Amino acid sequence: MPDMCFSDDALYASGGKGSMRYLFLHGGHSQLAPPDNFSVEAKVLVQNTHGEIIFDDSPDQPTSQYQFIDRTLKSVNGKEDAYIPKQLFVEKMLMNVSIPTLLFAEIPRDHADIPSSENVSYVTLLILGRTGMEQASFQDYEYLKSMLHLFVPRFGRAISRMSDVYLPGDALNLSHEVAGYMMVPSGDTNNLRTFLAMYAKRYMLKSSSEIEVLERCLLHMLKMPFELSSAIRYGLILY
């Protein structure tokens, strides 16, 4: 996990490169205290820089059930010994984000617990429900499911090319560059175009080009990378 002594100046100057950074693609942190005992409906994926899935918490099911006892994760789909990538990070996110949330976390090779020849891999965490909170609506579920499968793989491939140069406060330029990489017609872009049409219908009032829709979507996501130890220190993560 990140060094808990990682200085604020260093975090800002480097954008947190070298520690575990995460971006909210939808949703955000929550200040609501979870119950002592609760369950969370979620999906955890790990992908490489090519957008290929290298871990799925439940390949045969759309989501998994994460059971907490005394605010400690005890089982996944009833299995107490289930493997969870970056378990401390995943536990913190499951307890401390709004419903629904989709977040994307960068894992440097030094922090990864799945062997990889690549410098980074990515955890995607979709959280749809938690005991004591209103569940995601059907519309939100369908939207986020589409984002997870149609947007995230191509986003991961693009953002992996920008990791070395990204600095906080440069989201406008970064959104433009990432959008350019995502719209390059390598492979099938139909999935991305399908998601962009859904995003525009959901959020945009006037007709815009696909690249304009994508840049607006990215700008919302890329305003600032969060980093776990700093989020705890500043009270964004309380439990």
Say whether pLDDT at 3 is over 70.
no
Q: Is residue 4 part of a domain?
A: no
Q: Is residue 2 part of a domain?
A: no
Token pair of 160 as six digits: 């992996």
Average pLDDT over residues 186-197: 86
State which H helix or E strand residue 54 sits in: strand 53-56
Q: pLDDT tens-digit profile of 35-62?
A: 999 999 999 999 988 888 999 999 999 9
Q: pLDDT tens-digit profile of 116-147?
A: 677 788 999 999 999 988 899 999 999 999 99
Q: Is residue 56 part of a domain?
A: yes
Q: Is residue 130 part of a domain?
A: yes
Q: Which residues contact 8 (CB under 8 A, 6 or more apart)?
A: 230
More confident call, 199 vs 4: 199
CATH number where 94 lies: 3.10.50.40
Average pLDDT over residues 88-93: 93
- The pLDDT of residue 114 is 66
Three-class SS of residue 233?
helix
CA distances from 137 to 31, 99, 105, 191 (A): 21, 10, 24, 23
213: left (phi over 0), alpha (psi -120 to 50) or beta: alpha
CA distances from 12 to 110, 114, 227, 237 (A): 21, 28, 11, 19
Interior angle at CA 7, CA 5 and CA 10, nearest 5: 135
- The pLDDT of residue 147 is 97
Q: Is residue 226 part of a domain?
A: yes
Q: Is residue 3 part of a domain?
A: no
Structural domains counted in the chain: 1
Residue type present at position 6: F
Domain hosting residue 54, numbered range? 12-239
**Distance between CA 156 and CA 123 in Å, rounded?**
10
